[in-house]
Structure 1
Amino acid sequence: MAMLASLLARGRGSESPQLVRALTRAYAAQPGPKAALSNVGIEGVQHIIAVASGKGGVGKSTTAVNLAVALSQRLGLRVGLLDADVYGPSIPRMMSLSGKPRVDSDERMIPLVNHGVSCMSMGFLMAEDAAAVWRGPMVMSALQTFMLRVRWAPLDVLVIDMPPGTGDAQLSISQRLSLSGAVIVSTPQDIAMLDARRGCTMFRKVNVPILGIVENMSWFICGSCGHESHPFGSGGAEQAAADLDMELLGKIPLNIAIRETADQGAPIVATQPDSPAAAAYVSVAERVWQKLQASGQQGPPKIEFE
């Protein structure tokens, strides 16, 4: 407990005593190894989905942000966004949010809200340029806190921006939360698709349904001549979807406006809703919501180990 309090106190340097106590008590109350393997839902949250990638640098967080905003603003749903990348939190910048979350009378943190989306991130508890120099158990305790000691309800969908890769954090989230499904993000080139396939394999090993794959940076339209090019190749997502028996949810263009709006904390779905890029994200959000409604999933999936 003292270790977590000390780390948080060295973060922004101005955390309230109530917040530190809430986090340290959550750390102390973590279940043992056997209990930790039990999938649980979050009270008042209808669906929890993971946005994941097999590697970094493919636009996973940008996709998670615009998907969450599309579900909220264009589909009218109650949406939360959990930044599970403890080492590299980017949601505060992309959602233009800062400051410490308040703590309610039950010592649960209250998410910060922008663009109609309730957000929680380690970035709210640390200075933007601070590094979380934490070993695995500390990362797990932070994720446990964000999953179960945050006042998420009521939500229709909680979107989890997963850390890149297929390591301990990803596996722990998949095991501890009852996920309605996962969205895999990749770019078209072969090496990225190979990593995306590994991500699909991980989720299927723990019986998390794959909602589909999103091909990011799919094509580029030259602003001068209007020529369409595919700098990262083409056809990779279709082939991966066919090989892995999953759906291609959509293709997102390589567009400088997507990057600029993300850097400004003004997601393109919110600030340029009539743009082709925003329409691509909204199409993915509509299909994801259709699949969640059709799934009729009741209770957590069973976990199988090989």
Structure 2
Amino acid sequence: MTAATTRQQRLRNINGVRPPGLPMRALKGLVLLTACLLVLVPFVVMISTSLASPEEIRAAGGYVLWPQDPSLAAYEAIFRGGVVTRATLVSIGVTVIGSGLSVTVVAMLAYGLSRPGSTFHRPLLLMVLFTMLFSAGMIPNYLLVKSLGLLDSYWSLILPTLVSGFQVVLMRAFFLAVPQELTDAARIDGAGELRILVRIMLPLSKAAIAVVALFNAVAYWNAFFNAVLYINSVEKWPLQLVVRTYSVDGADIAVDSAAEVIPPQQSLQMAIVIISLIPILLVYPFLQKHFAKGVIIGAVKG
């Protein structure tokens, strides 16, 4: 009896079912390969089209799968225009500041709500849960931002989405899972609540913080609707609004109109999209190891 046969019998005895045969495993592999291709091919087309020459784009009818003579002319034209460079800096600033403030506020609020004896614990928790079910709507939010004097301000891109009820519940579930003996020992040593949060809770909550930071970073980086509502000055546009304006409306705002040679519109569109994807692609691998652990916090009890 071979080792593979023994292993199959052991699996069948444990699970009570026959393990899949070679045809079924091959079918599963084919399905997974097809799914991967469906995801990767559009991404490859975007990169290839952004690097393709005008002749290749015309010959391919608009989009190129594999460029024969790759060129960075589209990227050079975009960054020479200055609009994308400025919008990229705006998006980076909004993402970094917004994510940092959001993680700080969410962690402090979640820690307060995780302490049963805190002031107004239950009413505040109900308010947080209420925001997960109902929202004020676009017009009340606009009137609120206007009344606060935040129109055409960078703060209008940060403050309206600073706190998420889901993220507060996620962090609260983690803080509740921390053994009570740790905080009791810290209080006996004379530590206050802020010191307990900074010295004990936050170092133990790296997975939850990574998940909350990733959620906020992706949300702030991809947000453009708040900019459409609240930002009037073109120089304050974030990158996603530039992507939307150029890719959807076809406005030639992203390139230098005085340039002698302007790359095809398809190359410019794909180049702007690739630029908007690069920061998230660079950050996600460093947070991915915490992501799977963080999203299941509080899912298992006992």
Name the TM-score, length of structure 2 as normaliser. 0.24
Structure with higher helix content:
2
Using CA pairs under 8 Å that are at least 6 residues apart, name the structure with larger relative contact order, 1 or 2: 2
Name the TM-score, length of structure 1 as normaliser. 0.24
Structure with higher strand content:
1
